């Protein structure tokens, strides 16, 4: 069963920034790229649970602030040579409002 929740507007997240939403299953980081694309990942690096929301966004990647792991915003996959995956959430934007699908 899908559960779409509205989490705010695109303009509320700075370009190359993020916001955290709290859910019963843990925090979710919602990212905005320089090209205004929106992505959502579990706010835990697959390496040592670092807060991805505090990382640096570049292109469609976020770099974990703890150990410099680079995580794809599109897939949640760690970029080589690192291995692991942060959970990815489906996102849709309608009239500037962001919705994230929690399952």
Residue range 23-74, pLDDT digits in tens: 988 999 999 999 999 999 999 999 999 999 999 999 999 999 999 999 999 9
Edge-to-edge strand list for the sheet holding 56-58: 56-58, 61-63, 70-72
Count of all residues that appear for the chain in the document: 103
- Band of residue 103 on the pLDDT scale cut at 50, 70, 90: confident
Q: What is 3-102's CATH number, 3.40.640.10, 2.102.10.10, 1.10.260.40, 3.20.10.10?
A: 2.102.10.10
DSSP β-ladder status, 91-94 and 17-23? unpaired
| CA dist., res. 9 & res. 97, Å (int) | 4
Q: Say whether pLDDT at 2 is over 80.
A: no
With a CB cutoff of 8 Å and minimum separation 6, the contacts of 59 are 33, 34
Query: Domain spans of the chain?
Result: 3-102
């Amino acid at each position: 069963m899908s559960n779409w929740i509205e989490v705010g507007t695109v303009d509320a997240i700075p370009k190359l920034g993020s916001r955290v939403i709290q859910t019963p299953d843990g925090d979710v980081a919602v990212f905005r790229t320089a090209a205004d694309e929106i992505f959502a990942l579990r706010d835990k690096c697959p390496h040592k649970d670092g807060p991805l929301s505090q990382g640096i966004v570049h292109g469609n990647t976020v770099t974990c602030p703890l150990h410099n792991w680079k995580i794809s915003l599109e897939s949640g996959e760690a970029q080589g040579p690192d291995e692991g995956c942060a959970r990815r959430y489906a996102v849709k934007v309608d009239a500037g409002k962001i919705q994230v699908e929690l399952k």
